Structures are given as C-alpha cells and as structure tokens.
Amino acid sequence: MTHDFGSGKVHAHKHVNPNGLLGGWVADTAYVDPTCYVHESAQVFDVAKVLGTSKVSPNSIVCDDNIVENSTTWIGSTNHWMSNNCSLYNCV
C-alpha cells in the first residue's frame, strides 16, 4: 500500500489503534507502537516514532526524525508539525 505525504507516494499503512479501529497513515519507514493512538486524519512519516501510550490528535503530523513518547498527547487543531529533531516526553 502507498500514500502521498506531500512529496510523492511512499510505502505506508494505516495504524491499527488499541481499540481495533483504523487510525491515520504511517510510512513504513516510521514507527508507531501498537499501544499508541493515531487519529484517522493524522500522519506519521519519514523516520518519526510514536512510542508508549502516546496519542496523535486530528490533523497532526509527526515527521523527520522526531519522537513522541511516554503518554504524550500531540494535539493539532490545524496541521501542527513537529520537525527538526524534536522529542516530546511526558507532555499533555
């Protein structure tokens, strides 16, 4: 399966959230723990990671080599981006 994150199609898949429902797109080069929630309109790509029990909220984008971890909730009401080697840890 492929998805265009903005720079052409790449191999990707829909994240399966802990409740069993399909979440947002995740590039095959990125990683999201199965215990994390990714909203269906959120995207995780490049070599980004979402770890622990973190949540990626609607319209949010996690990309580059950024990490969201340890129960952090990444909230984006209108396309919030994390870029340039950020790491969020234990944030809400």
Position 76 pLDDT exceeds 60: no
- Tell me the per-residue pLDDT of 6-60, one tens digit each, with 9 for 90 and over: 999 999 999 999 999 999 999 999 999 999 999 999 999 999 999 888 888 888 8
Q: What is the pTM of this model?
A: 0.83
Q: Contact, 34 vs 46, CB < 8 A?
A: no
In degrees, to the nearest 5, what angle opens at C-alpha 38 toward C-alphas 52 and 53?
15
What mean pLDDT is predicted for residues 72-78?
58
- Domain extents in the chain: 2-89
- How is 58-74 classified by DSSP, letter by letter? TT-EE-TT-EEESS-EE
pLDDT for 77 equals 43
